[in-house]
Amino acid sequence: MHPLEKSCPRESDPEILKDRIRAIVDSADPAMAAALLMSPVFAESPLMPIAAIRGICSGSTFVERLLPYVPVTEVGDTFHINFKQFRAVNASIQLGANHKELLRVSQKYAPQIKSDVRYTKDKVTIQKIQSKGRYGKKWYLRIQTKTLGRPWIDLDYSRSKAHAKAVKIKKKVAAGFPLENVLKEVAPDSSFLHRLEMEFERKDATRRQNACAPKTGKSHSEVTIMDLILAYQEGAKNRTNGLNEKNARRCVNQLRKVITLGLNLKPPKDKTKKEVEAAEKRAFERPVSDLSPGIVDVFMDTMLGVGDDFDDIDEVEILERSESANSTFRQAKSIFSEKGRRIFRRAGLAFDLPAGFLSVGFLPVTHGIYTLPELDRIEGIFEELRVLLKTDPSHYLARLIALYVNLRPKEIIHLRKDQIKYSGYWRVEIRVRGDFKPKHYHERSIKISAGLAEHILDICRDNGSDYVISGDNRLELFRPFNSHLREKFLPEQRRPSYELRKFYASSSKLAVGLAITHQRMGHNNPSTTEKHYIDKDAPQELVDIYEKYAQELFGGAAFLK
């Protein structure tokens, strides 16, 4: 074994394998890694110990950006990669290549399929599929179809049985029999058959819904905005459309505001149902074609106060008004998003999209940076945990989890005890469940210390609930939570609970790096984490505060790689 490599037990959990890869790369000495690249032993070999890349990238960078395109092969107790493949993919990433381009570059260096994972007889070929550098035990057939492309069909673990099934499938499909019927007869246990049946059921349900959908009988020019709004709100009740009624209602309100201000209509006097319905009738009972760029222009001017006291408004106020106008217009436009168009299609509404209205851009706004509050205020939030532990366990757990696990308020409220798991390491898993979905359906796993995991479970073990935080006021916990933080520590913050996530992100970036921090924050885009949640000048003292109270409260590390 090369001295750069460490002996690790084999694991099947992908997250553990990734952690091992990170540890091997990050613990390697850069000088020794450079020497390894120059070693004549590996000059002609396609494989090289993964520790050799230490001088080129970190372990986290490799796992997050390169692993999908550079398979890792485990030989004995060491990880190896094709260094030529790694170098080509890394160069392509630096040049801004997209996913498909990276796959093509990677495929050039893919090894030839071994004979023990590919079998051909009577012009019918079956093979095993490689995943994460390893071949599975099941045999698959790839077959050309008219409507499904060339899917992989799982057959059997026995090569002889799998090949016999493959021969029958190819003959029957060539004879014109539907693939679904053939698989029901020849390979009824195939997981591909199950996916195929689910897809047919989904399409059939869509056809039935479209058949039952009310047909307006209106021409493109006769469809009104009110027709769209009614269909949009009704469609939001169907979860398959990907919307919920609350968000749909918010978007409708914002479109009403844009039209009302853009056409100088009478706004509602108050929020009573009668006033809102009257305002919507004034705004929406007009053809969709009336939505023009001119409406948006007047709306934007009105929001900014052009023509009134605009010349007397300072730059900060203009930017704040611009932010508000952009937010309103963005939500109004989302009615015509892909989800909205799916609802209109299902409702039988045929109309021309208001292209001019939708093409209007947003007002220029400031691109702010995040800065931490004073460290003494931050430490005060940590210090108060000592008191909360004795006086208010629910408030204590909520603040502790927000600070050390960086969960959002809704994630904390709906955190179940069985989401704190151990499989060689402790982690908190955020998953889609029947009673909860994370933001944007973004699932993630946050690695935590054993001390923190056991501390949380010890406190909530006897609370008589499946949830970490129990009690009748569980769902309203963050009202007093935010009020207290705002009153005592963060008076300028509208949502202090989110400020705690920013404390975590700023200190985590210092402790374990940006890539791991972004992964644990649950953002779709790394720039969100970096621009809005991390103080780029955060001091080491912030990490010291985290570590100090971690040792005092639960006797573990605040951040783990």
98: pLDDT confidence band, cut at 50, 70 and 90?
confident
Task: Provide φ and ψ at 14, rounded to 5°.
Answer: -55, -35
Distance of alpha carbon 455 from alpha carbon 449, whole angstroms = 10
Per-residue tokens: 398: 């909520």
Task: Provide φ and ψ at 347, rounded to 5°.
Answer: -85, 0
Classify residue 492 as exposed, middle or buried by CB count within 10 Å of its CB (0-12, 13-18, 19+). exposed
Q: In the chain, how long is the greatest CA-to-CA distance?
A: 85
Average pLDDT rounded to a whole number, residues 184-209: 74
**Interval 127-140: pLDDT, tens:** 888 765 567 788 88
Amino acid identity of residue 155, one-letter, is L
Is pLDDT above 70 for 497? yes
User: Residue 12 CB: number of other CB atoms within 10 A?
Assistant: 8
Please tell me the least confidently modeled range out of 148-162, 193-207, 389-403: 193-207
Distance of alpha carbon 479 from alpha carbon 367, whole angstroms = 29
Residue pair 32/107 in contact (Cβ under 8 Å)? The answer is no
Reduced to 3 states (helix: H, G, I; strand: E, B; else coil), residue 352 is coil
Is pLDDT above 90 for 530? no
Shortest CA distance to 132 belongs to which of 21, 9, 2, 51?
21
Please tell me the least confidently modeled range out of 157-161, 256-260, 382-386, 470-474: 470-474
Q: What pLDDT is attached to residue 3?
A: 32
User: Residue 337 CB: number of other CB atoms within 10 A?
Assistant: 14
Please tell me the least confidently modeled range out of 92-101, 465-474, 547-556: 92-101
Shortest CA distance to 166 belongs to which of 137, 116, 115, 127?
127
Residue pair 83/52 in contact (Cβ under 8 Å)? The answer is yes
Helix count and strand count (H, E) for the chain: 25, 12
Domains and CATH numbers, the chain: 14-109 (no CATH), 117-202 (no CATH), 225-359 (no CATH), 375-554 (1.10.443.10)
453: pLDDT confidence band, cut at 50, 70 and 90?
very high
Per-residue tokens: 299: 């709306």
Reduced to 3 states (helix: H, G, I; strand: E, B; else coil), residue 91 is helix
Average pLDDT rounded to a whole number, residues 254-275: 88
Distance of alpha carbon 309 from alpha carbon 207, whole angstroms = 56
**Interval 201-222: pLDDT, tens:** 766 665 665 555 555 555 555 7
Q: What pLDDT is attached to residue 460?
A: 92
Q: What pLDDT is attached to residue 547?
A: 94
| Of residues 363 and 340, more confidently modeled | 340
Residue pair 414/435 in contact (Cβ under 8 Å)? The answer is yes
Q: Give the predicted TM-score (pTM) of the model.
A: 0.50
Is pLDDT above 80 for 366? no
Average pLDDT rounded to a whole number, residues 455-477: 88
| Of residues 338 and 36, more confidently modeled | 338
1: pLDDT confidence band, cut at 50, 70 and 90?
very low
Is pLDDT above 50 for 231? yes
- Which residues have CB under 8 Å from 436's CB, separation 6+? 410, 414
